[in-house]
């Protein structure tokens, strides 16, 4: 089987999982041409039930301009200004944020922002997840998600991961955190590990085997950065006692059986890892991009994790196909 076929099979499996769930996914950037094109395909292929946000006339006009066979009777369109939920969401947002000294007027203005309105739809169960970021910056997407949807109880932060499909590697790998948290402390690193393990299992159906990475393996070097990773392992074990996790491990010890046996004999993870947790954003982001470019790997992400319900962030350079894939992932993670 070719590597491209393996990638297609995993993505198709994710789409099949999404089709079974028929999740309602909201797209706050409903007036963007790529989003309209993607939601038309999602609807046609019944991958999810898309909800476009924006002015209905502008959306229909944009579809006609770009010759997209958009069916406004099939795809739901929500305009925050005209929605019957506008006042309810505004009042809810005010109650959520009044401790930050926002006024009711501020809350009503904020609900005109499609990111925040879409996130409130998810909070209230009017959507199962959201996909955005083709136009908006990551910081704006995360801010709406954290303030409106909220963080999972027991996890202290929102993070991200990439699902990496690497040619000539037998299993999908998850890299984290390559997109959000610059310099996590030990507790945050433990939360990233637990969230990434959950994401990996939902998407790949494989049991996560988590390696906490470092430049040291089992005491081969002494440094406060190594201590942070070791502390994170112990915290993660307490928070998720059933999780198969170990560290500190160097990258080769985590992935290659012979090297793992040599450097970390007896480790339940060494040489078998499929979830790689990097000690900081520098190392994770650099590694995922190098793997993507030098190994011609497929990188699916960044996949936002840690929110009560999924609110996915796209690259601003994304294509309609990318939006379709992320929407399918969103539907699976929201189950």
The per-residue pLDDT for 330 is 95
Averaged pLDDT for residues 43-51 = 95
The per-residue pLDDT for 298 is 87
Averaged pLDDT for residues 12-37 = 95
pTM: 0.88
State residue 159 phi and psi, 5-degree precision: -135, -170
The lowest-confidence range among 36-40, 71-75, 184-188, 220-224 is 71-75
Share of the chain above pLDDT 90, in %: 86
Q: What is the pLDDT of residues 101-112, one digit of tens each?
A: 999 999 999 999
DSSP string, 103-161: -HHHHHHHTTSHHHHHHHHHHTTS-SEEEE-SSS-HHHHHHHIIIII-BPTT----EEE
Q: What is the pLDDT of residues 59-70, one digit of tens each?
A: 999 999 999 988
Residue-wise over 170-185: b if at least 16 C-beta within 10 A, else e?
A: eebbbbbbbbbbeebe
pLDDT band at 73 (very low <50, low <70, confident <90, very high): confident
The per-residue pLDDT for 4 is 56
Sheet containing strand 275-277, edge to edge, reads 244-249, 209-213, 275-277, 173-176, 159-165, 298-305
Share of the chain above pLDDT 70, in %: 98
pLDDT band at 3 (very low <50, low <70, confident <90, very high): low
Q: How buried is 8 (Cβ within 10 angstroms: 0-12 exposed, 13-18 middle, 19+ buried)?
A: middle
Ramachandran assignment for 283, one of left (phi > 0), alpha (psi -120 to 50 degrees), beta (any other):
alpha
The per-residue pLDDT for 2 is 54
Cα 188 to Cα 202: distance, rounded to the nearest angstrom: 21
The per-residue pLDDT for 234 is 97
Tell me how far the alpha carbon of residue 3 is from its chain's centroid: 23
Q: What is the pLDDT of residues 135-183, one digit of tens each?
A: 999 899 999 999 999 998 877 799 999 999 999 899 999 999 998 999 9
In the chain, DSSP assigns E strands to 24-27, 49-53, 76-78, 129-132, 159-165, 173-176, 209-213, 244-249, 275-277, 298-305, 311-313
pLDDT band at 260 (very low <50, low <70, confident <90, very high): very high
Ramachandran assignment for 301, one of left (phi > 0), alpha (psi -120 to 50 degrees), beta (any other):
left
C-beta separation of 91 from 105 below 8 A: no
Question: What are the structure tokens assigned to 81, written together?
Answer: 């200004």
* Helix, coil or strand: residue 219: coil
Q: How buried is 238 (Cβ within 10 angstroms: 0-12 exposed, 13-18 middle, 19+ buried)?
A: exposed
Which residues are CB-neighbours of 133 under 8 A, at least 6 positions away? Answer: 29, 141, 312, 313, 314, 315, 316, 318
The per-residue pLDDT for 335 is 67
Is pLDDT of 71 > 80? no
pLDDT band at 195 (very low <50, low <70, confident <90, very high): very high
The per-residue pLDDT for 299 is 87
Question: What are the structure tokens assigned to 119, written together?
Answer: 């996130």
Q: What is the pLDDT of residues 208-242, one digit of tens each?
A: 999 999 999 998 999 999 999 999 999 999 999 99
- CA distances to 156, 278, 287, 316 from 212, rounded to whole Å, are 18, 6, 14, 30
Cα 117 to Cα 202: distance, rounded to the nearest angstrom: 27
Q: Of 270, 275, 209, 288, which Cα lies nearest the Cα of 242?
A: 209
């Amino acid at each position: 089987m070719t590597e491209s076929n393996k990638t297609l099979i995993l993505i198709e499996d994710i789409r099949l999982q999404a089709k079974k769930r028929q999740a309602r996914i909201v797209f706050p950037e409903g007036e963007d041409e790529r989003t309209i094109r993607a939601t038309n395909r999602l609807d046609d292929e019944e991958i999810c039930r898309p909800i476009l946000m924006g002015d209905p006339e502008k959306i229909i006009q944009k579809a006609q301009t770009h010759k997209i066979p958009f069916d406004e009777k099939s795809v739901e369109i929500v305009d925050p200004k005209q929605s019957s939920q506008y006042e309810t969401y505004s009042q809810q947002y005010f109650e959520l944020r009044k401790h930050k000294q926002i006024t009711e007027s501020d809350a009503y203005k904020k609900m005109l922002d499609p990111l925040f309105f879409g996130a409130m739809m998810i909070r209230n169960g009017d959507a199962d997840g959201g996909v955005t970021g083709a136009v908006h910056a990551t910081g704006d997407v995360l801010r709406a998600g954290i303030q409106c949807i909220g963080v999972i109880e027991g996890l202290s932060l929102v993070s991200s991961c990439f699902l990496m499909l690497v040619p000539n590697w037998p299993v999908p790998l998850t890299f984290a955190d390559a997109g959000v948290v610059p310099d996590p402390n030990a507790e945050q690193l433990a939360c990233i590990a637990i969230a990434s393990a959950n994401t990996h299992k939902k998407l790949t159906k494989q049991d996560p085997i988590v390696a906490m990475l470092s430049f040291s393996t089992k005491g081969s070097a002494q440094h406060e950065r190594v201590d942070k990773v070791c502390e994170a392992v112990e915290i993660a074990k307490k928070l998720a006692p059933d999780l198969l996790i170990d560290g500190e491990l160097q990258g080769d010890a985590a992935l290659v059986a012979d090297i793992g046996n040599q450097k970390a004999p007896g480790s339940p993870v060494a040489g078998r890892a499929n979830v790689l947790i990097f000690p900081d954003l520098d190392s994770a982001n650099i590694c995922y991009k190098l793997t993507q470019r030098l190994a011609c790997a497929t990188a699916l992400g960044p996949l936002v994790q840690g929110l009560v319900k999924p609110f996915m962030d796209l690259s601003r350079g994304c294509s309609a196909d990318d939006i379709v894939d992320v929407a399918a992932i969103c539907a699976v993670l929201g189950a």
